Amino acid sequence: MTIGERIKYLRKSLNLTQQQFANALDVDQGHIAGIEKGTKNPSKPLQKAICLTFHVRDIWLKTGEGEMFISPEDALKSLTARFGEQAVLDAVTNIMKERGLVMAAGRPAHQAGTGDPDLDRLLNTIYDLWTTGDSDLKGWLKVQLRRAIPDDVIEDAQKKQKATQGQASAG
């Protein structure tokens, strides 16, 4: 795969049009089209801009080797080395506050970690409401959950879970 083909692959994986990709890099759409077709080569400054703007590993862009994107962990390590641990922690805290995420003792309140983002969000929201709420909020939450999940639904789920566990231990 050529560098132009990798740039096209990157752009498509980001679900961007050539125009959107070009706008993000402050270049002409025709220039991106030429690079993707192989009639133009991206300059070193443009390659660097692509990597910085879209968090792409430069080795992947140049050779196609390794992962396409810089991992969040690597990005945080780089930011920590550049700005210091406290500055990065303060920035993360501010972002979490802006997004309305609850903090407890200066750290994220609860992370369900089920592997299902929708379920994690729901469980974290319920947990955060419960742990930060007064008795009125907790009472309201109980009523809402009982309405949303009737006892018979809970009993059916528990029976299915027991049956699944029984099959797993028998096999």
Task: Give the per-residue pLDDT at 59.
Answer: 96
Whole-number average pLDDT of the chain: 85
Tokens of 29: 């759409």
Q: What is the mean pLDDT of residues 116-135?
A: 80
- Compute how many other C-beta atoms are within 10 angstroms of the C-beta atom of residue 61: 19
pTM above 0.75, yes or no: no
Q: Are 18 and 32 in contact (CB under 8 A)?
A: yes
Domain ranges across the chain = 3-63, 71-100
Rounded CA-CA distance 160/158 in Å is 5
104 pLDDT more than 70: no
Residue 169 has pLDDT above 80, yes or no: no
Share of the chain above pLDDT 90, in %: 40
Q: Is the separation of the CB atoms in 124 and 111 below 8 Å?
A: yes
pLDDT score, position 19: 97
What pLDDT score was predicted for residue 121?
Answer: 80
CA distance 148 to 7: 48
Crossing angle between the packed helical segments 3-13 and 29-37, to the nearest 10 degrees: 120
Q: Give the confidence band of 105 by pLDDT, cuts at 50, 70, 90.
A: very low
- Pull the structure tokens for residue 104: 């407890």
The CATH class for the domain spanning 3-63 reads mainly alpha
Residue 76 backbone dihedrals phi, psi, to 5 degrees: -65, -40
Q: What is the DSSP string of 121-155?
A: HHHHHHHHHHHH--HHHHHHHHHHHHHHS-HHHHH
Greatest Cα pair distance in the chain: 68
